[in-house]
Structure 1
Amino acid sequence: MQPMPLLIDMVTALAIAFVGGVVVRRLGLPTMVGYLLAGVTIGPFTPGFVGDAETIRQLAELGIVFLMFGVGLHFSFQDLWRVRDIAIVGALGQMATTAALGFQLGQAWGWSPAAAIVLGLAVSVASTVVLLRGLMDNGLLNTPHGQVAVGWLVMEDLATVLVLLVLPTLVQKEAGLDWRELGLTVLAASGFLVFMMAIGARFIPWLLMRVAHTRSRELFILATLTVALGTALGASELFGVSLALGAFAAGAVVNGSPLSHRVAADLLPFREAFSVLFFVSVGMLLDPHYLWEHIPAVAAVTGLIVFGKSVITALWAFLFPHPVRTALVVAAGTSQIGEFSFILGQAGVNLGLLGQEQYALILAGSLLSIVVNPFLFSLVGPGEWLLKQFPPIWRLLNREKQPARSPGQGLAEHLVIIGCGRVGGHLVELAEHFRLPCLVVEADVARARVLAGRGIPTLLGDASNSEILRHAGLERARLLVVTLPEEAASELIVAGARDLAARLPIIVRAATRDGVQRLARLGAQYVIHPELEGGLQLVRHALLELGFSLEEVRRYAEVVRRTCYTAMTHAGEESRLMSESFDAVDRVRMRWISLPPDSPWVGQTAAATAAHHDGAFLAALLRQGELLQEPGPATVFQAGDRLGFIGEPEVLAALKQRIQPVRDQPP
């Protein structure tokens, strides 16, 4: 068999990255740390298997393209404009200040001016991935503080894209900076952006819509891959700009298409896989021995990123009329560096502006800052408390009109709904109708904004892939309903919820019969299989139309349900009770009976007619659009009332004949 070095390197890198990601997630750290350590493991500076750095680097180029395409796809001028008073000036001021300190640090070590500039720029840019994970884990993503932090990072991302554009002009030449080359670079980039706005913004959405009408998911995925990779390559070959800028522009153009959500969903597996290879390739450049020998330099870079940048960010944020907590949250979220810093560093290495050993310091600072970052969020509360001990300073810095509260704060005996699609949306409407307190956990930004606009407490984030459930108040909740269609995500949520609230009733949706059993074993009290229940209703109506008796149909449904939901019962008695409950559901049902003007019940009280119910139960009364549950004995019936009775079909049919004169019944 022929050797396949590309496949070997790719599989090995992904396998070790998987192990590293699992380990660091168990420790409560971002998976990016595990991917970087995986790269160190297969790198040339550690014993054992050594991957082909050039092969993995070429695969990592695809990771950069997909990362930048994703940044453009989720780039939102609306997010930035919403918090423009603090995010634009604050982010640019923080970047400039941090870059200046990084430049001074590089100069103190004797680095060239160009290398010192790259170091300063790299440490000034935070990781969007790490920030979003930190905000989600702490329930801050859709709070005013989290919105400012997201807008701040949007501005940093935009500024970094421009930095990547002009970085090649820093290459040292005998005559100094080549202003002609800088002008040509800016002109080429401007031409590319004009081309994308004038032609790409029309052609790409049109193409995606035409492909979508073919109703072929394979063709749609091929089209989106072609758009992402083709635009990046075309920008590089035809306009001479970087792959990163081309991919970012392609994503920003697709963002304006009505199919942007579908593009994001279809490209997610490619982006995640090749992004992992990108982080692995970065880790392969990290020499542990060099870092051990240069601990003071590593400590200085890490200190600038974690402590220096957090202080600088907070000081810039304090200049604007926002709460103290906003400044502290933004400071905690941006005190790390990640993917954009790697891209800047690699561009510096490829251009000869930065040496491998210098780049290793940036990698070490990134790795350590990402590890420390989750703990900085825990210092936000103590930081507020400390500033409150100095009232003059607190009054000067804290300029909020009304304290912002976390969506789940103060809720008790509430309904927690995971996912607000079609099923979750119905539950939210019911909660609003019956005035039940509820909290929604939703991963879709657009849905979360609509819910928040309706005044419904909403946590924005992925409940299956973060610590957001800790902020839903499950220990105080009355019920948890998981409506997600993905069983794997539901299983993670049920397991996590059971750890947080051992006695909380959980209702969850299952997509398969095997999923019913797995979810029940994880601790869900009630598992619903929508396809099974919908299929049984279709079968029920079909069999009744074919002449089968109601009893035969009921028995068939009972057997099917008992077979499917067998994992939810663990003893013979429970199985019997479950069978009886299904029997009761099929036999006992509610029926609405209206009172015509000549009904003998008009003018009578509920107590006077109770003797004629024949075992049926009067559950509700609907009068002029108002619903009255369980009418009292003194309730007087009026013409036009609709009475809701619960009972067996035969009893309800006889009761209707007694209430409504025969001549008024429909033929």
Structure 2
Amino acid sequence: MEISAILRDLAVVLAIATAVAFLFGKLRLSVVAAFLVAGAIMGPTGAGLVSETGVVEALAEIGIVLLLFTVGLEISLSSLGKMRRQVLWAGGGQVFATILFSLVILLLSGLPAPEAIFVGFVISLSSTAIVLKVYADRMEIDSSHGRISFGILLFQDMAVIPMMLLIPSLRQWETADPSMVLLTLGKAGIGVAALLLLARFLIPRLLKEIVRLNDREILALTVLFVCLGTAYLANRFGLSLGMGAFLAGMVISESDYVHEIAAQILPFRDVFNGIFFISVGMLLNLHFLFDNLPLVVAMVAAVVLIKAISTAGTIRALGYPWRIAVIAGVGLVQIGEFSFLLLSQGYRENLVTSTQYQFLLAIAILTMTATPFLMGSAPWLARRWDRWVARGGDFRETEEEAAIRRTGMENHVIIAGYGMNGKNLARVLKATRLPYVVVDLNDVQVREGKAAGEPMFYGDIHRPEILERLGVARARILVMAISDPMATRRGVAVARRSNPDLFILVRTR
């Protein structure tokens, strides 16, 4: 391939992507949807403007690696232990429930078990890139539904490894040896452990020496080397490139230099992520889509329903309120970027036919394109569900709440959120002996606060019954120390109706 042809194709890709993104921006639509549409326009079955598609796919793979590296930077090993409820129980429950529902439906439809399990694998994964980008744009990463969604996405990203390792066994369903399957998974686990130990021993020392040079260019080159080098080593161990980058990010997240490293890598990530979504759009066969549009739309609706029920049901079973379950369930209905990796390997292993491949591809792209719009409507759906179905029956009054109601605590401070700001405020109020109560929707923080002797309560601050139990009518101050803009706005409105004289302080960032 000639360098001039590669440059021409990249120029065409970036020009069309910029134009479509500009148009979508004017219409206040998601830039992710713009990239997918741009890819479909310039793809082989569209205008056919790109001849060197292999180059675009290679750049897209780098985009996935950089994305998961930055995701790893946000997760320290210590915080991963604190998130075990969201990761293991919510993530594991969602993946298991989605695969199980898909398996039952597909078996009843006459699809063989290996193919049905494989399709369940593909459907169970959601898009880390799209969901986190939308939540970041709306500043909801640290909200209750943002945290639970992040935990589920994290489990899904880690589940890709055993899924890819199990694909050859699904192809040899009748003759597969369970001991060999376990051996393969064991080797992968050893590979992950070896990478973590190697990275934890070498990377911090390397970064310490590089930072001493006080040269931003050398630091940027080193970060890229660590990210791509660890991804390569992971691939040599039989793991995915993205998993290697994710492990490297997790190790660096414990470093004192994590913020500077994130700043160095973000510009590269954003560019390559855009190319990734464009490459996904280019895979879509537009002729196949238009010829089978009614059936594809019906399948999209079925996938959205299966994933929404699986995700929301799992989250609700863990004790979260319906509002959080519905918003997170709607946000994770798409088929994710790692599903394309599974699809490619499954197609090579003859687990799906070319027709099934195109159906799954069309469903994935359509659900990914629709995700920003669905996530925008999720709060409205949650309010309707809360009003028509849940009818405010999420929380039962605890003994502590009943004591507040009976004793008639008054002139107290209600703190919504037990993050850093909430903890600092509680410390000051305790030192000055002012009465206060704290409410949070993060069960880990609630348990932590109760263990520290704080007057902690689990509940959703925007619910009138929760505020009533906390004595909002007799309170003097309400401090909204949470980072969920939607819950903050609704909480302020409900509190103001309950107590017009209440003094309210709101966290804006």
Change in CA separation of 1:209 and 1:305 when aligned onto 2, cut-off 3 Å: farther
Other-structure match for 2:94: 94
Q: Report the counterpart of residue 282 of structure 2 in structure 1.
A: 284
8 A contact 2:280–2:365 mirrored in 1 = no
Secondary structure at the counterpart of residue 358 of structure 2: helix
SS of residue matched to 1:365: helix
How far apart, in 2, do the equivalents of 1:65 and 1:351 lie?
24
Find the counterpart in structure 2 of residue 228 from structure 1: 227
State the Cα distance separating 1:82 from its structure 2 match.
4.5
Q: Which aligned pairs between 1:261-300 and structure 2 lie closer than 5 A? A: 261-300=259-298
Which blocks of at least 5 consecutive residues in structure 2 are unaligned?
402-477, 494-509
Q: RMSD value over aligned CA atoms?
A: 3.5
| 1:214 is aligned to 2:213 | yes
Q: Please list the CA deviations of residues 437-471 of structure 1 after superposition, one character each: whole Å capped at 9, or x if unmatched.
A: xxxxxxxxxxxxxxxxxx9756759xxxxxx7998
CA apart distance, 1:365: 2.2
| 1:80–1:152 Cα contact (<8 Å) kept | no
CA distance in 1, matches of 2:64, 2:10: 16
Match of 1:124 in 2: 124
- Distance in 2 between the 1:38 and 1:375 partners? 20
Q: CA deviation at 1:159?
A: 2.5
Contact 1:29 1:371 in 2 (8 A): no
Partner of 2:343: 345
Distance 1:235 1:389, change over 3 A: closer
What letter matches 1:146 in structure 2?
Answer: G
State the alpha-carbon separation in 2 of the partners of residues 46 and 230 from structure 1. Answer: 36
Mapped to 2, the partners of 1:242 and 1:65 lie a distance apart of 9
Q: How does 1:176-215 map to 2 (within 5 A)?
A: 176-179=175-178, 181-215=180-214
1:69–1:249: 8 Å Cα contact kept in structure 2? yes
Contact 1:211 1:219 in 2 (8 A): yes
| Cα separation, 2, equivalents of 1:399 and 1:236 | 50
CA distance in 1, matches of 2:136, 2:481: 12
TM-score between both structures, scaled by the size of structure 2: 0.71
How far off is 1:61 after superposition? 2.5
Look up the match of 2:70: 70
Matched residue, 1:372: 370
- C-alpha distance in 1 between matches for 2:397 and 2:241: 43
When normalised by structure 1's length, the TM-score is 0.55
Which ranges in structure 1 are unaligned for 5 or more consecutive residues? 403-454, 462-467, 477-667
The letter for the 2-side match of 1:75 is I
Structure 2 residue identity aligned to 1:340 = F
**In structure 2, do the counterparts of structure 1 residues 213 and 330 end up closer, same or farther at CA, with 3 Å as the change threshold?**
same
Partner Cα separation in structure 2 for residue 386 and residue 316 of structure 1: 16
Aligned pairs (5 A) from 1:547-566: none
Secondary structure of the residue aligned to 1:329 is helix
Cα distance in 2, alignment partners of residues 351 and 242 from structure 1: 17
Q: Is the contact made by 2:126 and 2:153 (CA closer than 8 Å) also made in structure 1?
A: yes
Instruction: Describe the superposition over 1:185-208 as per-residue Cα deviations: whole angstroms up to 9, x where unpaired.
Output: 334323322322333201011101
Percent of aligned positions that are identical: 30
Which amino acid in 1 is paired with 2:88?
A: I
Deviations 1:87-129 (A, max 9, x none): 5323222212212333455556665544433322222122223
- Bigger RCO (CA 8 Å, 6+ sep): 2
Distance 1:349 1:106, change over 3 A: same
Matched residue type, 1:204: I
C-alpha distance in structure 1 between counterparts of 2:134 and 2:233, whole Å: 36
Preserved contact between residue 327 and residue 382 of structure 2 (Cα < 8 Å): no
Cα pair 1:42 1:48 within 8 Å, conserved: yes
Change beyond 3 A, Cα 1:331–1:44:
same
Instruction: Report the Cα distance in structure 2 between the residues aligned to 1:225 and 1:300, rounded to whole angstroms.
Output: 43
**Matched residue SS, 1:4:** helix
- State the distance in 1 between where 2:206 and 2:39 align: 38
Change (3 A) 1:278 1:137: closer
- Which residue does the alignment assign to 1:587? none
Alignment of 1:32 onto 2:23: no
Pairs within 5 Å for 1:378-393: 378-389=377-388
Mapped contact 2:69–2:245 kept (Cα < 8 A): yes
For residues 589-644 of structure 1, the C-alpha deviation after alignment (integer angstroms, 9 at most, x for no partner) is xxxxxxxxxxxxxxxxxxxxxxxxxxxxxxxxxxxxxxxxxxxxxxxxxxxxxxxx
CA distance in structure 1 between the partners assigned to 2:188 and 2:177 by the alignment: 17
Return the offset for 1:274: 2.0
Displacement, 1:9? 2.0
Aligned residue type for 1:121 = F
- For the residue of structure 1 that corresponds to 2:171, the secondary structure is coil
CA contact (8 A) 1:135 1:141 kept: yes
1:18 counterpart residue number:
18
Residues 522-567 of structure 1 deviation map (CA, whole Å, 9 limit, x = unaligned) = xxxxxxxxxxxxxxxxxxxxxxxxxxxxxxxxxxxxxxxxxxxxxx
1:436 alignment counterpart: none
Counterpart for residue 151 of structure 2: 151
Contact 1:91 1:153 in 2 (8 A): yes
* Number of aligned positions between the proteins: 413
Distance 1:240 1:375 in 2: 36
The change in CA–CA distance for 1:349 and 1:267 in structure 2 (over 3 A counts) is farther
- Judge conservation of contact 1:169–1:182 (CA < 8 Å) in 2: no
Which protein is richer in helix relative to its size? 2
Change (3 A) 1:103 1:280: farther
Seen in structure 2, the aligned counterparts of structure 1 residues 394 and 79 have a Cα distance that, compared at 3 Å, is farther
Which residue in 1 is equivalent to 2:438?
none
CA contact (8 A) 2:77 2:251 kept: no
Equivalents in 2 of 1:400, 1:14: separation in Å? 56
Question: The residue matched to 1:241 in structure 2 has which SS?
Answer: coil
Asked if the contact 1:126–1:338 (Cα under 8 Å) also holds between the matched residues in 2, the reply is: yes
Cα 1:114–1:133 shift into 2, 3 Å: same
Indicate how the Cα distance of structure 1 residues 333 and 350 shifts in structure 2: closer, same or farther if over 3 A, else same.
same
Task: Say which is worse superposed, 22-31 or 117-126, in terms of deviation.
Answer: 22-31
Q: Quote the residue 1:551 is aligned against.
A: none
Matches within 5 A, 1:312-327: 312-327=310-325
Deviation at 1:322, TM superposition (A): 2.5
Instruction: Read off the aligned partner of 2:125 and give its amino acid letter.
Output: V
Distance 2:85 2:98 in 1: 20
Paired residue type of 1:15: A
In the superposition, relative to structure 1, how do residues 30 and 102 fare at CA in structure 2: closer, same or farther (>3 Å)?
A: farther
Farther off after superposition, 337-346 or 258-267: 337-346
User: Which residue in 1 is equivalent to 2:423?
Assistant: none
Change in CA separation of 1:254 and 1:336 when aligned onto 2, cut-off 3 Å: same
| Cα deviation, residue 269, structure 1 | 2.0
What does residue 308 of structure 2 align with?
Answer: 310
